[in-house]
Amino acid sequence: MKKVLLIGLRSDAVDFDKWPQLTKEKLEAAFIQVISELNQGGYKAKWCLTDRGETAQTQVSEALRTEEPDIVLVGAGVRTDPDHFLLFEQLINVIHVQAPNAKIAFNTLPYDTLESVKRWG
């Protein structure tokens, strides 16, 4: 069973004005749904939900060491928001150092995470 580490922003760190299709409740429900879909799809999945950068590098680094994932998915909330460009860059470098053999995947919304992970494992 392949292990997947999902990296995203905690719901309290998301600027929902930038994501009008989401609410805090929808996002939190999606976090639960994503884990369920991945587990039902044959993966062992875990979220690493971070802040906007204050402790994110440390948190992701620890999760990578603990989980030793085969696939790391960096969510769209981290990746596509220009305000999080430096956070995204920092996290990619943490992934590169801590999990050099892991495949890296990207989703567009929480709802296409399973498809994104399947592309790489």
Condensed to tens digits (0 to 9), the pLDDT of residues 95-105 reads 999 999 999 99
pLDDT of 110 above 80: no
Q: Quick one: pLDDT band at residue 108, thresholds 50, 70, 90?
A: confident
**What's the whole-number average pLDDT of the chain?**
95
Widest CA span of the chain, in angstroms?
38
CATH of domain 2-118: 3.40.50.2300
Q: Quick one: pLDDT band at residue 22, thresholds 50, 70, 90?
A: confident
Residue spans per domain, the chain: 2-118
Q: What are phi and psi of 28, to 5 degrees?
A: -65, -35
- Residue 84 confidence (pLDDT): 95
- Residue 50 confidence (pLDDT): 97
